[in-house]
Amino acid sequence: MKTRAIITIIFLGLGLIIAAVPQNTTHPYKLTADELLEESYSHQQYYSPDEVADLLVNKDPSIQLIDLRSPNEYDKFHLPGAINIPLQDILSDEWRDYIDQDVKINIFYSNGSLYANKAWMITRQLGFENNYVLEGGLNYWVETIMNPLPPASTSPDEELAKYDFRKGANMALGGQAAVTQTDDEGTPTQKPEIKRKPKKQRVQGGC
């Protein structure tokens, strides 16, 4: 009964996020709210902290972390290699080639999951793919990767191995977020290269 109540609360929250998505007049939506809510039921938009840590430790070139917080928060602490795109700028033409592309896997994150889920829903409604969410955001990252609780000595081998991995990942990542050069606005001075999609040719003539 408790599990059902928790699930209900989660999806009510997702429904509120969908309702809060600003009306878009520049890029027409490709998914309806019902289609998006149905897609969110699978939870396939999430990457766990352990999965992200593994990708970072192995320097996987296929991912791009996107910090949705303010430039000030980003400057104080951010995950290694993350770029800063504040949530309010998610639909800005400046970042279009980073958000709508099929080269890298974008993983949105914020302090919790609310902003990241909102960014995911906005981009999915536009039909953009390759955008995902760091489960639990930075709060869960700090709890699981930076400050993992040691399991009991009688814990299953799987739990002991997970703890060892988290300690090793934290050490490999320097025990804290990497510091990157930013300009006065908090935006990275050197953006990662993203292959641009070829622009569609306009149809000549008219009716």
Span 39-74, pLDDT tens digits: 666 568 899 999 999 999 999 999 999 999 999 999
Query: What is the domain range of residue 35?
Result: 2-172
Is 195 within the bounds of a domain? no
Is 182 within the bounds of a domain? no
Is 185 within the bounds of a domain? no
* CA dist., res. 20 & res. 62, Å (int): 31
Is 196 within the bounds of a domain? no
Is 106 within the bounds of a domain? yes
Q: What is the pLDDT of residues 101-119, one digit of tens each?
A: 989 999 999 999 899 999 9
Please report, for the domain that includes residue 71, its CATH number. Answer: 3.40.250.10
Task: Tally the domains of the chain.
Answer: 1
Is 183 within the bounds of a domain? no
* CA dist., res. 96 & res. 114, Å (int): 21
Greatest pairwise CA separation for the chain in angstroms: 76
Q: What is the pLDDT of residues 22-36, one digit of tens each?
A: 444 455 566 666 666
Read out DSSP for 80-105? Answer: TT-EE--GGGTT-GGGHHHHS-SSSE
